[in-house]
Amino acid sequence: QVQFVESGGGSVQPGGSLTLSCGVSGRSLYISAMGWYRQSPENQRELVAGMLLSGANIKYGESVKGRFTISRGNAKNTVNLQMNNLRPEGSAVYYCKAEAGGETTYWGQGTQVNVSS
């Protein structure tokens, strides 16, 4: 059984900041990579940011480069996403993704981010 704990979503004005956190736990679970994706009613689910938990291979979606930063958390199997200079088009449900050994993908339940004035 894989459990996700996602936090940090909410409402913010354009130009504001939020930090999302995601932790994954499970018996005999080996997580190799984690990341964040987002989906709005108008768009398909898209990559926001991802990384190997070794710290390597950090990737960002084109629309968030230079504004968002993904990092490992202090606890095992956790990642944080610092989101700065948020834009209205960033309003979406943000989903945490975890990959186990490159073979199995798990998704969190999602956390809502609203950017509006």
Whether the predicted pLDDT of 10 surpasses 80: yes
Q: What gap in Å lies between CA 113 and CA 43, rounded to an integer?
A: 15
Q: What gap in Å lies between CA 13 and CA 44, rounded to an integer?
A: 24
Whether the predicted pLDDT of 1 surpasses 90: no
What pLDDT, in 10s, does the model give residues 21-39? Answer: 999 998 878 999 999 999 9
* Beta strands at 68-72 and 10-12: parallel, antiparallel or unpaired: unpaired
Residue 62: predicted pLDDT: 97
Whether the predicted pLDDT of 102 surpasses 80: no
- Look at 2-6, 24-28, 82-86, 113-117 and tell me which has the smallest mean pLDDT: 24-28
